[in-house]
Amino acid sequence: MTEPSFTKLTDLAAERMGGKALLCSDDFFAEKENLLKPGRGIFIPDKYTDRGKWMDGWESRRKRIPGHDWCIIQLATPGKISGVDIDTNFFLGNHPPHASIDAVTFQQVKKTDWEKMDWKEILSKSSLQPGSQNFYDVNDHGIYTHLRLNIYPDGGVARLKVYGEVFKDWSLVDEKEQVDLAAAINGAKAILCNDMFFSHMDNLIMPGRGKNMGDGWETKRNRTPGNRDWVIIRLARKGFIDKISIDTNHFKGNYPDSCLIEGAVLANDEHLHGSSEIKWTSILPQTKLKADQKHFFGKEIASKNAFTHVRLSIFPDGGISRMRIWGRIKK
At 129, which CATH number?
2.60.120.260
The Cα 224–Cα 213 span in angstroms is 24
Nearest to 166, CA basis, from 331, 1, 18: 18
Residue where a domain stops, chosen among 106, 131, 166? 166
Q: Could you tell me which of 208, 267, 190, 170 has the C-alpha nearest to residue 11?
A: 190
Q: Are residues 112 and 42 in the same domain?
A: yes
User: Does the structure show a pLDDT above 90 at 277?
Assistant: no
Dump pLDDT digits (tens) for 48-77. Answer: 999 999 999 999 999 999 999 999 999 999
- Nearest C-alpha neighbor of 228 from the set 310, 317, 290: 317
The pLDDT confidence band at residue 2, using thresholds 50, 70 and 90, is confident
Residues 111-152: tens digit of each pLDDT: 678 888 899 999 999 999 999 999 999 999 999 999 999 999
Q: Containing H/E element for 325? A: strand 322-329
Q: Is 62 in a helix, a strand, or coil?
A: coil
Q: Quick one: 207 and 128 in the same domain? A: no
Statement to judge: residues 159 and 260 lie in one domain: no
Which of helix, strand or coil describes residue 188? coil
% of the chain residues with pLDDT over 90? 91
pLDDT mean over 84-107: 96
